[in-house]
């Protein structure tokens, strides 16, 4: 029987982290590849998310350090900022990372690019801009979009998401953020650094509810004292409305209702997967939480794969890239592999950074696992004295044999310490091995050695 002819060997829907690696690897193998993007090529991370947020936070944290330079003998009375120039810096950082040139990059690799919205019409065929394209295989990497709650009046006010908040032309005098996840906390720190009075509300018992308890409690205390942020936990937002030139937010906390008037409202409650692409026409199983895949990232149609946020896992960018590489392998090998998420770091880019690696203490308690833990506060390191910063810690989690199974870092530039502990978790290193590993004097990483020593003792 003659093999059916298709326009492409692989069509990738979505040009972000979940799609890019599979597309470029397949093209390098000589496959006929097309990639489709409805927004900016390169996806959310470089254009709208990780890169612009990082650029803005970097600027804010430099400004904040300079503001407090008097404790080191520096004169900072005349310090100021130009917010439009900060926005230009953000755009430059995005451009340097490759955003804007990503379409040319794909085409230089021999990949056909299409801009528009793709929809399946059969398991092997899609339509885009009234054009039909067919492929032997597909990868769905359409990412996610912001979850918008059904709060009365919210749709009637000009609220922001994280993306649009980063494009505000000047810091508002007041801001109300709905949500307490990583992005919400990063935005709160960013705007409060430039003088905005920030209110942050969430129904959870603490900020960063997906992290261990002491993480949220420490960051709550630190950001309240350092930035004047008002955290409203155990709080429900009842209504949002316009009030003259401001926005009125009605909340209930502890059974008491009150209203807060602010210039800007930001919704930051996580994301929902982008699954509106005619999946039912291709008999692909999915629900509102995401596309269903097996361990090899195959959907219910074995020639159609899915990776990244469309799976509903809200993975970090590095996780989506790994899944894309796994798809590229499984497309062309009989013996397939599965993604290995062990030790993948999760980062909140505040100052201090919050980094979670492997199993967290709360995870272990929920599973009734018998584990050991040790915490080394940053003030046990000489670096805390030279940097004049003490709000943070390193926590290690180990099994009964002192094998490291998880870690939490709360420290300035803590993300740069993640590599060591990611390796420790992935390689099954023991606390003894970590303790005996030389750690440079006057670095925050000495807290890792101290925590390892405490695990042993």
| pLDDT tens-digit series, residues 385-395 | 999 999 999 99
Is pLDDT larger for residue 78 or for residue 22? 22
pTM of the full structure: 0.95
Measure the CA–CA gap between 455 and 182, rounded to whole angstroms.
Answer: 29
> How open is the CA angle 180-97-94, to the nearest 5 degrees?
60
Q: What pLDDT digit, counting tens, does each position of 44-68 carry?
A: 999 999 999 999 999 999 999 999 9
> What is the mean predicted confidence (pLDDT) over 267-281?
97
Tokens for 432, please give them. Answer: 């003894």
List, in sequence order, the alpha helices (H) in 194-232. Answer: 213-227
Domains 8-42+100-145+272-331 and 154-269 share a fold: yes
List the 372-377 sheet strands across, edge first.
346-348, 353-358, 404-411, 393-398, 372-377
Residues linked to residue 232 through DSSP beta bridges, in sequence order: 201
359-374 core/surface letters (b: 16 or more CB in 10 A; e: else): bbbebbeeeeeebbbb
Q: What pLDDT digit, counting tens, does each position of 127-182 carry?
A: 999 999 999 999 999 999 999 999 999 999 999 999 999 999 999 999 999 999 99
CB 346, CB 316: distance < 8 Å:
yes
% residues pLDDT > 70 (the chain): 99
pLDDT at 457: 82
Residue-level length of the chain: 457
pLDDT at 3: 58
Write the burial class of residue 150 (CB in 10 Å: 0-12 exposed, 13-18 middle, 19+ buried): exposed
Residue 177: closest CA among 165, 194, 193, 195: 165
Superfamily of domain 346-456: FAD/NAD-linked reductase, C-terminal dimerisation domain (3.30.390.30)
CB within 8 A of 337, min separation 6: which ones? 296, 326, 329, 330
Map out the domains of the chain as residue ranges.
8-42+100-145+272-331, 154-269, 346-456
> What is the mean predicted confidence (pLDDT) over 399-422?
97
Q: Got the DSSP string for 130-192? A: TEEEEEEEEEE---EEE-----TTGGGS--B-HHHHTT-SS--SEEEEE--SHHHHHHHHHHH
Q: What pLDDT digit, counting tens, does each position of 89-125 carry?
A: 999 999 998 766 789 999 999 999 999 999 999 999 9
According to DSSP, the β-strands at 131-140 and 8-13 are parallel
% residues pLDDT > 90 (the chain): 95
> What is the mean predicted confidence (pLDDT) over 17-44?
96
315 has pLDDT over 90 = no
Measure the CA–CA gap between 289 and 2, rounded to whole angstroms.
Answer: 39
**CATH says 8-42+100-145+272-331 is which class?**
alpha beta
Q: Provide the CA 211 distance to its chain's centre, in angstroms.
A: 14
Measure the CA–CA gap between 241 and 158, rounded to whole angstroms.
Answer: 10
Question: pLDDT class for 1, splitting at 50, 70, 90?
Answer: very low
Q: What pLDDT digit, counting tens, does each position of 357-378 carry?
A: 999 999 999 999 999 999 999 9
4 has pLDDT over 80 = no
Tokens for 9, please give them. Answer: 């060997």
> What is the mean predicted confidence (pLDDT) over 71-96?
94
E strand or H helix that includes residue 335: none
2 has pLDDT over 50 = no
User: Across all residues in the chain, what is the average pLDDT?
Assistant: 96
Tokens for 266, please give them. Answer: 């930001």
> What is the mean predicted confidence (pLDDT) over 338-346?
95
Question: Alpha-carbon Rg of the chain, whole angstroms?
Answer: 24
Residue 220: closest CA among 191, 195, 188, 258: 188
Neighbours of 168 (CB within 10 A): 17
CATH of domain 154-269: 3.50.50.60
Neighbours of 33 (CB within 10 A): 27
């Amino acid at each position: 029987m003659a093999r059916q002819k298709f326009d492409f060997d692989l069509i990738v829907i979505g040009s972000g982290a979940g799609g890019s690696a599979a597309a470029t690897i397949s093209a390098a193998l000589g496959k006929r590849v097309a990639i489709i993007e409805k927004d900016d090529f390169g996806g959310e991370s470089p254009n709208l998310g990780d890169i612009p947020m990082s650029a803005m936070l970097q600027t804010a944290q430099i400004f904040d350090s300079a503001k407090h330079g008097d404790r080191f003998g520096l004169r900072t009375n005349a310090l100021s900022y130009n917010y439009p120039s900060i926005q230009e810096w953000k755009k430059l950082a995005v451009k340097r990372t490759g955003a804007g040139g990503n379409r040319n990059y794909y085409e230089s690799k021999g990949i056909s690019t299409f801009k528009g919205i793709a929809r399946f019409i059969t398991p092997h065929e899609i339509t885009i801009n009234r054009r039909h394209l067919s492929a032997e295989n597909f990868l769905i990497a359409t990412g996610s979009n912001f979850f918008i709650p059904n709060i009365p009046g919210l749709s009637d006010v000009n609220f922001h998401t994280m993306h649009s908040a980063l494009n505000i032309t000047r810091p508002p005098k007041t801001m109300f953020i709905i949500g307490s996840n990583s992005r919400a906390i990063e935005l709160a720190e960013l705007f409060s650094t430039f003088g905005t009075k920030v209110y942050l509300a969430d129904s959870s018992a603490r900020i960063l509810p997906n992290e261990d308890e002491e993480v949220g409690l420490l960051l709550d205390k630190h950001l309240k004292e350092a930035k004047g942020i008002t955290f409203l936990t155990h709080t429900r937002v009842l209504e949002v409305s316009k009030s003259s030139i401001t926005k009125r937010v009605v909340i209930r906390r502890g059974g008491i209702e009150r209203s807060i008037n602010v210039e800007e409202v930001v919704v930051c409650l996580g994301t929902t997967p982008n699954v509106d692409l005619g999946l039912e026409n291709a008999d692909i199983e999915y629900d509102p939480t995401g596309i269903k895949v097996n361990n090899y990232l195959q959907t219910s149609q074995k020639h159609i794969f899915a990776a990244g946020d469309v799976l509903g896992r809200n993975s970090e960018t590095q996780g989506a890239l790994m899944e894309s590489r796994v798809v590229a392998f499984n497309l062309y090998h009989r013996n397939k592999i599965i993604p290995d998420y062990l030790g993948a770091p999760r980062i909140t880019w505040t100052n201090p950074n919050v980094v979670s690696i492997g199993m967290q203490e709360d995870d272990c308690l929920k599973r009734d696992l018998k584990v050991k833990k040790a915490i080394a506060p940053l003030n046990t390191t000489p670096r805390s004295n030279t940097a004049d910063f003490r709000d943070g810690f390193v926590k290690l989690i180990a099994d009964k044999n002192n094998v490291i199974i998880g870690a939490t870092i709360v420290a300035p530039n803590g993300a740069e310490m993640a590599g060591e502990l990611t390796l420790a978790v992935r390689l099954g290193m023991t606390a003894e091995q970590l303790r005996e590993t030389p750690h440079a004097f006057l670095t925050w990483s000495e807290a890792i050695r101290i925590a390892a020593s405490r695990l042993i003792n």
